[in-house]
């Protein structure tokens, strides 16, 4: 374990320029190790005491043809001395490891931003592969940017020469050379990366030392080389962050841990049955490594088998969990209906991606809200929750377990590809602070004179008793055919079906009494404009609303975590605003639900290009809705 | 779960639920229900530790008629639900009830994987070679040319053999029984129960409404002796009303042939002895059809193989032994952390 204390480093060498926040994007070929570079820079930045947010953006192809634009992998980090809400709109610094990376990312870079280029890859062949007709280093493509060119390939090869690695292996250290340069640029500590490399390559010490040498060479290059213009190193001061023990966490990690933690609070075994699918597979990988936590994982033969095995596990007294993405959830629909009818706990995680059909598996979207709330045959209500950030996944995971077990119901938990892969610093909670909610299985004394009634109900929650096989005297049969109220026996009685349909709906609706009232993240509880979000749009909405409020606009941020049932006060809350704006990475789903439920004139704001919202996009929308009428707030 | 002391000798009727059985009068399923209840009584298992899981179809109503735990699930997916039950609680005695449509058409994939994984349960596939509940369409086991509402000119697709499917799926136990042969079937079910792993039992079941008499060439009292070969491990393959016919390997070929004892100098010593552990032989026996051959019933194949659920919990136990703490707080603090001071 690496436990370090963030310390304010004294500027070294030439005086450094102080900046409040910076966005850096590392971009290269998918084999160039950009994700690793990004994650190491993230750790070093966290250790330097900055707040941060990251956005990994990688291609669907595992190893796309080298040098092509569709093989470009990027990692963006936004860090600063202030609270960081998103991975940043436009990079201040772009590292382009080859022409394709430049081609794909140039349009995003902030005007006047810095572009660091490995000229060693700018060969005629690579330029052609990237689709450049002329060499951008020679023409006016890069006018208006501060361009830093060097032959990183050659510099790296020279730096690692003494470690006796092959030329191919040497070139694989290019990312570390670049990381070293960026470490110098922002005055980051190299030691954690040194430790990381020595651990990762413990069995290949010459590879570890070559990578370290490359990183050090990049750092020295920054210190000694004469950089163009007035370019010099920067200082980013520590952010004002709540004290405590931190770690970086991705949404996948936090969700897997939250689900395991919740299951522990419920005093159950967790059985995860899943089928590999991007971008949800990480949940299976992480939980497969947690067997010591009474977690059983099962890679099923398909999506349907996965959800069915999870339901079977719940029937047998464990908590059944299945994890997937939209297309997989579509396949699970019939079985989820069975879990609703049989009233068994079940958690279905949907790590959303761009669709429909296969869509863009590695690109993010939040377009499965309708699927989650309505996407089954017949009247089939369940609970829908949505996490809002990587760290929030931990809390939502626990909440999903609580509701599924307390109300004997499936819970659909929505994450997305962005949240799943992005990481953020997390003030690690103390698990002892969480109130346990142990499940109470039905006991043999429940079998009264008329026998055990598996479809009797708790007066308050309307939940039915959970009597797993193995419990003496409570043998019962359940199934997908309509169940008679009380006994659960097959029933085709018309009145009974009406009653059971009503009960299933009332049970889910009643959960609104057991979830927090909807609050306002920022701003007043009534006013001119409420920006209502859900899911991973939290970051950009939060920063945009904050910025606009600083400018005097009367705007509030409302963010939903409970999508179904909706919080009981939400209708009244929204009625208190003149306008309601709903930014979503879909074509207008929550906005339709809100309009249907509350008859509020909520307006959509939609984006489905596979990228998260930019802060500026939401700021512009707020300004348009308020006609530039700032200064009337408060 | 508390496993109470074994109750005093339960009878077959103690495994019947209070629900009225609603199969068509004369349906083969009645006989199987009776056979299963008898088998469970003979096994002497406690009803609370038994779980019947089914998919959709006539046969899949089965769990409602048992006094055990039961789950009537969705079409074709019973093997996946059953696997989930075993993952959650490997102590449960799981019986799966399915049909030729449920188990081999819509659920063929799940059947394949439950068998190859060797999940410890008994799989009873009621094969009536027809869709009953949806009113008579042909099924994946229907003989070619079957006229049904969906194939008025006769079915064109070639049927599959459930036992050959199971053998191909690397099943560790494959057997066959006939609904009405009540002296034979409970014993086969007991064997299936005793086997550790996925025990596949095809049960020929007569659908009196849509496919009556499909198995009359071997399944009836008058035809069984000549139409059926009852397999016994280690015993020569003799059949026929007069016990005068047998099965042997055809000289110079990898195929079986029917021979008449005492004709052309054929003696019992020339006949094949059944070897349950021989997968190739099981395949040859499973492929025998009337009228050229008798239909083989009994245990075609049985091998010792580790059950999936046993192996799953060996890994869980090993992980626990390696990290006895399994503390959530430790987990959250694993890897790189840093402290932000006051």
Chain B interface includes A292 (CB < 8 A)? yes
Which residues in B lie closer than 8 A to residue A304 (C-beta atoms)? Answer: 77, 80, 110
Mean pLDDT on A261-284? 98
Cβ(A415)–Cβ(A403) below 8 Å: no
Q: What is the mean pLDDT of residues A216-223?
A: 93
Q: Residues A39, A43, A48, CA angle at the centre, nearest 5°?
A: 145
What average pLDDT does this structure show over B160-171?
98
Instruction: Quote the tokens at residue A244.
Output: 């405590």
Q: Do B320 and A292 touch (CB under 8 A)?
A: yes
- The model's confidence at residue A381, banded by pLDDT at 50, 70 and 90, is very high
Q: Is A338 in Cβ contact with B87 (below 8 Å)?
A: no
Q: Of A46-50, A437-441, A537-541, where does mean pLDDT reach its minimum?
A: A46-50
Of B337, B341, B342, which to mutate for an interface test with A (greatest number of A Cβ within 10 Å)? B337
At residue B20 the predicted structure's pLDDT band, cuts being 50, 70 and 90, is very high
Residues 6+ apart with CB under 8 A from A417: A278, A279, A325, A351, A352, A353, A354, A361, A362, A363, A364, A365
B2 pLDDT above the threshold of 70: no
**CB distance A524 to A545 below 8 Å:** no
Q: Is A242 on the interface with B (CB under 8 A)?
A: yes
Task: Reply yes or no on whether the pLDDT at A61 is more than 80.
Answer: no
Count how many pairs of residues, chain A against chain B, have C-beta atoms within 8 Å: 242
Whose CA is closest to B38, among B228, B184, B177? Answer: B184
Residues in chain B with CB shorter than 8 Å from the CB of A248 are: 336
Tell which phi-psi region holds residue A62, choosing left (phi > 0), alpha (psi between -120 and 50) or beta.
alpha
Interface test with A, best of B56, B85, B312 (most A CBs within 10 A): B85
Does B123 or A8 have the greater pLDDT score?
A: B123
| pLDDT of the residue at A450 | 80
A471: chain B residues, CB-CB within 8 Å: 1-2, 48
Identify which of A246, A335, A468 has the shortest CB distance to residue B77. A335
Please tell me the predicted confidence (pLDDT) of residue B1. 43
User: For a pLDDT cut of 90, what percent of chain B falls above it?
Assistant: 94
Q: Contact, B330 vs A290, CB < 8 A?
A: no
Q: Give the span between the Cα atoms of A486 and A97, in whole angstroms.
A: 67
Task: Please report residues of B whose CB lies closer than 8 A to that of A47.
Answer: 338
Model confidence band, residue A632 (pLDDT cutoffs 50, 70, 90): very low
Portion 434-473 of A in contact with B at CB < 8 A: 468-473
**Do A294 and B316 make contact, defined as CB atoms within 8 angstroms?**
yes
Enter the pTM of the model: 0.93
Report d(CA A5, CA A152) in Å as an integer: 32
- The answer to whether A4 and A192 are in contact (CB under 8 A) is yes
Residues A79-101: pLDDT tens digits? 999 999 999 999 999 999 999 99
Residue A4's pLDDT band (cuts 50, 70, 90): very low
CB of A378 within 8 Å of any CB in chain B? no
pLDDT in tens, A444-487: 998 878 889 999 999 999 999 999 999 999 999 999 999 999 99
Measured between CB atoms, which of B1, B66, B83 is closest to A312?
Answer: B83
Contacts of A469 in chain B (CB under 8 A): 1, 48-51, 69, 85, 89, 92
Q: Which of A309-313, B272-276, B297-301, B323-327 has the lowest mean pLDDT?
A: B323-327
Average pLDDT of A421-445? 95
The yes-or-no verdict on residue B54 having pLDDT over 90 is: yes
Q: How far apart are CA A340 and CA A13, in angstroms?
A: 66
* C-alpha closest to that of A397 among A507, A262, A297: A262
B338 vs A6: CB contact, 8 Å cut-off? yes
Is A469–B112 a contact, with Cβ atoms under 8 angstroms apart? no
Total Cβ atoms within 10 A of residue A572: 13
pLDDT digits (tens, 9 = 90+) for A22-34: 999 999 998 899 9
What pLDDT shows up at residue A629? 66
Q: If we measure between CA atoms, which residue out of A85, A115, A94, A111 comes closest to residue A34?
A: A94
Residue A226: predicted pLDDT: 73
On whether ipTM exceeds 0.90, the answer is: yes
B244 min Cα distance to partner chain A (Å): 47
Displacement of CA A433 from its chain's centroid (Å): 24
Cβ–Cβ below 8 Å for B339 and A293: no
Q: Which two tokens stand for residue A603?
A: 């307006």
At residue B134, the pLDDT reads: 94
Rounded mean pLDDT, B243-272: 97
* pLDDT of A13: 55
CB contact, 8 Å: A261 with chain B?
yes
The percentage of residues in chain A with a pLDDT greater than 90, rounded to a whole number, is 88
pLDDT of amino acid A339: 98
Give the number of other Cβ atoms within 10 Å of residue A83's Cβ: 14
Q: What average pLDDT does the structure give for chain A? A: 93
**Contact map slice: A 295-324 vs B, CB within 8 A:** 296, 298, 300-302, 304-306, 308-318, 320
Q: What is the pLDDT of residue B106?
A: 98
For position A8, what pLDDT does the model report? 41
Q: Is the pLDDT of residue A204 over 50?
A: yes
Closest residue to B51, CB basis, from A308, A469, A481: A469
Tokens 């639920």, residue located: B17
Residue A14 is predicted with a pLDDT of: 62
Q: B326: which 2 tokens?
A: 């399994």
Beta-carbon separation of B316 and A296 below 8 A: yes
Q: What is the DSSP string of B173-218?
A: EEEEEETT-TTTHHHHHHHHHHSSSEEEEEEE---TTTSTTTTHHH
Is B92 within 8 Å of B170 (Cβ atoms)? no
| Encoded tokens for B258 | 């029917």
Count of alpha carbons within 13 angstroms of residue B196, beta-carbon side: 10
Quick: pLDDT tens for B293-342.
999 999 999 999 999 999 999 999 999 999 877 899 999 999 889 888 76
**Chain B residues with beta carbon closer than 8 angstroms to that of A468:** 1, 88-89
* Radius of gyration of chain B measured on its C-alpha atoms: 23
């Amino acid at each position: 374990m690496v436990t370090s204390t963030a310390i304010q480093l004294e500027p070294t060498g030439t005086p450094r320029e102080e900046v409040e926040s910076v966005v850096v994007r590392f971009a290269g070929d998918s084999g160039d190790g950009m994700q690793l570079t990004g994650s190491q820079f993230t750790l070093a930045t966290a250790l330097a005491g900055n707040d941060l947010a990251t956005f990994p953006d990688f291609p669907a192809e595992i190893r796309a043809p080298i040098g092509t634009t569709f093989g470009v992998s990027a990692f963006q980090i936004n860090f600063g001395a202030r609270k960081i809400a998103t991975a940043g709109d436009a990079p201040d610094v772009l590292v382009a490891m080859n022409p394709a990376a430049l081609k794909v990312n140039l349009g995003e870079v902030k005007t006047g931003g810095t572009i660091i280029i490995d000229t060693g890859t700018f060969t005629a062949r690579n330029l052609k592969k990237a689709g450049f007709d002329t060499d951008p280093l020679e023409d006016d493509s890069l006018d208006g940017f501060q361009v830093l060119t060097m032959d990183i390939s050659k510099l790296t090869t020279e730096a690692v020469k003494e470690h006796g690695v092959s030329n191919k292996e040497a070139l694989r250290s290019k990312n570390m050379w670049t990381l070293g340069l960026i470490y110098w640029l922002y005055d980051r500590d190299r030691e954690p990366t040194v430790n990381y490399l020595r651990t990762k390559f413990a069995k290949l010490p010459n590879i570890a030392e070559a990578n370290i040498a490359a990183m050090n060479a990049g750092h020295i290059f920054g210190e000694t080389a004469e950089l163009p213009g007035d370019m010099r190193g920067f200082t980013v001061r520590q952010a004002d962050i709540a004290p405590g023990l931190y770690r970086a966490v991705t949404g996948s990690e936090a969700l897997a841990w939250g689900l395991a933690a919740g299951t522990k609070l419920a005093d159950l075994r967790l059985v995860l049955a899943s089928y590999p699918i991007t971008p949800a597979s990480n949940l299976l990988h992480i939980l497969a490594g947690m067997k010591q936590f009474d977690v059983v994982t099962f890679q099923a033969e398909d999506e349907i088998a996965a959800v069915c095995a999870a339901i079977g596990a719940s029937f047998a007294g464990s908590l059944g969990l299945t994890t997937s993405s939209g297309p997989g959830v579509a396949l699970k629909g019939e079985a989820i209906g069975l879990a609703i009818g049989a009233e068994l706990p079940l958690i279905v995680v949907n790590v959303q991606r761009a669709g429909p059909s296969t869509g863009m598996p590695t690109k993010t979207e939040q377009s499965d809200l309708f699927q989650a709330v309505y996407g089954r045959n017949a009247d089939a209500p369940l609970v829908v929750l949505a996490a809002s950030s990587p760290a929030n996944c931990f809390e939502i995971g626990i909440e999903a377990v609580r509701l599924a077990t307390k109300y004997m119901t499936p819970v659909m938990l929505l994450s997305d590809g962005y949240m799943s892969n992005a990481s953020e610093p997390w003030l690690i909670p103390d698990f002892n602070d969480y109130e346990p909610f142990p499940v109470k299985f039905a006991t043999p004394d429940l079998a009264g004179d008329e026998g055990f009634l598996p479809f009797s109900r708790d007066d308050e929650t309307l939940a039915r008793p959970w009597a797993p096989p193995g419990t003496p005297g409570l043998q019962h049969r359940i199934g997908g055919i309509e169940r008679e109220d009380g006994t659960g026996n097959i029933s085709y009685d018309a009145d009974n079906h009406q009653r059971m349909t009503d009960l299933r709906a009332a049970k889910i609706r009643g959960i609104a009494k057991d979830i927090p009232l909807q609050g306002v993240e920022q701003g007043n509880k009534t006013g001119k404009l409420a920006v209502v979000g859900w899911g991973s749009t939290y970051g950009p909405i939060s920063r945009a609303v904050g910025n606009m409020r600083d400018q005097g606009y009367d705007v509030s941020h409302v963010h939903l975590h409970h999508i179904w049932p909706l919080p009981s006060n939400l209708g009244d809350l929204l009625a208190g605003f003149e306008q309601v704006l709903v930014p979503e990475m879909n074509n207008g789903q929550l906005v339709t639900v809100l309009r249907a439920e509350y008859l509020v004139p909520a307006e959509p704001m939609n984006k489905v290009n596979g990228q998260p919202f930019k802060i500026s996009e939401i700021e512009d929308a707020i300004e348009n809705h308020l006609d530039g009428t700032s200064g009337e707030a408060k | 779960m508390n496993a109470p002391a074994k109750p005093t000798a339960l009878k077959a009727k103690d495994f019947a639920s209070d629900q009225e059985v609603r199969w068509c009068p004369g349906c083969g399923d009645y006989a199987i229900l009776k056979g299963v209840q008898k088998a469970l009584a003979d096994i002497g298992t406690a009803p609370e530790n038994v779980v019947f899981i089914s998919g959709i179809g006539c046969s899949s109503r089965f769990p409602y008629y048992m006094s055990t735990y039961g789950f009537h699930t969705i079409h074709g997916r019973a093997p996946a639900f059953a696997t989930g039950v075993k993952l959650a609680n490997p102590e449960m005695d799981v019986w799966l009830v399915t049909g030729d449509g449920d188990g081999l058409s819509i659920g063929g994939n799940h059947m394949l994987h439950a068998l190859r994984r060797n999940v410890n349960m008994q799989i009873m596939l009621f094969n009536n070679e027809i869709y009953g509940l949806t009113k008579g369409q042909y099924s994946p086991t229907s003989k070619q040319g079957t006229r049904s509402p969906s194939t008025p000119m006769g079915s064109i697709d070639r049927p599959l053999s459930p036992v050959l499917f199971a053998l191909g799926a690397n099943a560790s136990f494959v057997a066959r029984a006939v609904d009405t042969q009540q002296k034979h079937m409970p014993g086969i079910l007991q064997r299936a129960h005793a086997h550790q792993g996925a025990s596949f039992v095809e049960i020929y079941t007569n659908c009196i409404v849509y496919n009556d008499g499909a198995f009359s060439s071997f399944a009836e009292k008058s035809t069984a002796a000549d139409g059926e070969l009852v397999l016994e491990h280690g015993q020569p393959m003799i059949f026929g009303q007069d016990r005068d016919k047998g099965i042997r390997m055809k000289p110079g070929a990898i195929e079986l042939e029917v021979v008449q004892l005492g004709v052309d100098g054929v003696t019992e010593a020339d006949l094949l002895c059944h070897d349950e552990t021989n997968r190739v032989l099981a395949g040859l026996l499973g492929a025998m059809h009337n009228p050229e051959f008798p239909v083989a019933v009994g245990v075609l194949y049985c091998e010792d193989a580790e059950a999936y659920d046993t192996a799953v919990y060996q890994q869980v136990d090993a992980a626990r032994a390696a990290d006895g703490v399994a503390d959530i707080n430790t987990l959250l603090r694993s890897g790189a952390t840093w402290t932000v001071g006051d």
